[in-house]
Amino acid sequence: MKKIKEFIKKYMIGLTLSFLICISVVSAVTYFDSNLVTYENKNSGLKSTDVQGAIDELYNVCLPKTGGEAILDKVDIVSSGDGLYKDEYEDRYFYRGTNPNNYIIFNNEIWRIVSIENDKTIKIMREASIGNMAWDEGGGANGSNNWARPSDLNTYLNGSYLTETLNQTAQGQIVSKNWSIGAINYAESSMSSQITYENSSKWNGKVALITMSEYIRSNSNSSCRTFASNEENRNCMNTTWMQSNNISSWWTLSPRRGINYNGFIITSAGGGTYVLNNETVAVRPSVYLSSKIKITGGDGSQNNPYRIE
């Protein structure tokens, strides 16, 4: 026991002295203008051959490491209830349930995490609408459902909304991605077929909307994760977080298959239906955050959203 106490005592003294010496060296080095100092590193153990590089290395060695965690390192994958699920159709993870802990601060606003992709990018959607807008007005009498045309909403979201409404920090956290813009058939009962339809056409950009299948996959009730009928999904609004915000109806990215002037919306009753693309409906923008994003605080709950850097 005596030897253990002596070891601990010596270890703590050594650790304290090392820390004090390290901080003293950093303070001494940073006192002088690095342009006026020559530096020989052969005995220092540092890799840098210039003064500023040595300063940076000393700070990295001496000061405590900071930084957050990747979302998949922080969150458990669940198989029931509210939470993050491994998707059964694609190599992705989806948040499902009435109120999972997927709140996140982005652009100093509340957004929600939709999914985590196989490349570790994070798809998020704004919790509140940015207002009612037409999907498109200039592509014909009823508008066009060709997002890549580009549609009017595409032009706005990737123009003034991106560059003027989102702050510089938020803009730097977004990455361009290939979004699924293929047309779907709501009467098609197979989820796999609908996802194939969605993925049949891609558009690369920074700001868009979520697809119809992503909305349905946010439901924790397995019987609700189907396109079997419009009425069936209307009864499922109480088991998806996407309907918790009391928005009357809002646009998805999915156009209607076979008709070039219809797009799908989510109704206040929780079901999907199609409307003319020149109708004004609530818009909830979606973006992909870089895989380098780290969670630096919060637990994802409504009262304590994730904070990122």
Dump the DSSP string for 20-67.
Answer: HHHHHHHHHHHHS-GGG-----TTT----SSHHHHHHHHHHHHSPP--
Can you tell me the mean pLDDT for 243-249? 78
d(CA 276, CA 229): 20
Residues 58 and 129 in one domain: no
CB 286 within 8 A of CB 207: yes
Task: Judge whether 301 lies within some domain.
Answer: no
pTM: 0.78
Residues 278 and 135 in one domain: yes
Task: Judge whether 149 lies within some domain.
Answer: yes
Residues 57 and 130 in one domain: no
Task: Judge whether 33 lies within some domain.
Answer: yes
- Confidence label for 46 from pLDDT (cuts 50, 70 and 90): very low
Can you tell me the mean pLDDT for 211-234? 77
d(CA 84, CA 188): 26
Task: Judge whether 163 lies within some domain.
Answer: yes
Q: Which segment of 33-37, 241-245, 248-252 scores lowest on mean pLDDT?
A: 33-37
Question: pLDDT per residue over 62-108, tens digit each?
Answer: 333 345 788 888 899 999 999 999 999 999 999 999 999 999 999 99
Residues 49 and 159 in one domain: no
Task: Judge whether 271 lies within some domain.
Answer: yes
Residues 279 and 189 in one domain: yes
- Confidence label for 114 from pLDDT (cuts 50, 70 and 90): very high
pLDDT at 11 over 90: no
The reported pLDDT for the residue numbered 232 is: 55
Residues 53 and 149 in one domain: no
Residues 237 and 150 in one domain: yes
CB 259 within 8 A of CB 276: no
Residues 278 and 129 in one domain: yes
Q: Which domain holds residue 198?
A: 124-292
Greater confidence, 15 or 260? 260
The reported pLDDT for the residue numbered 24 is: 41
Q: What region does 85 belong to: left with phi over 0, alpha with psi -120 to 50, or beta? A: beta
CA 308 to centroid of chain Cα atoms: 10
Alpha carbon distances (Å) from 110 to 53, 89, 171, 236: 39, 28, 16, 24
Q: How crowded is residue 306: how many other Cβ atoms within 10 Å of its Cβ?
A: 27
Question: pLDDT per residue over 264-285, tens digit each?
Answer: 999 877 778 899 999 999 999 9
Would you give the DSSP letter of residue 3?
H
Domain count, the chain: 2
Task: Judge whether 280 lies within some domain.
Answer: yes
Residues 213 and 137 in one domain: yes
Task: Judge whether 42 lies within some domain.
Answer: yes
The reported pLDDT for the residue numbered 239 is: 85
Q: For residue 77, give both structure tokens.
A: 């994958």
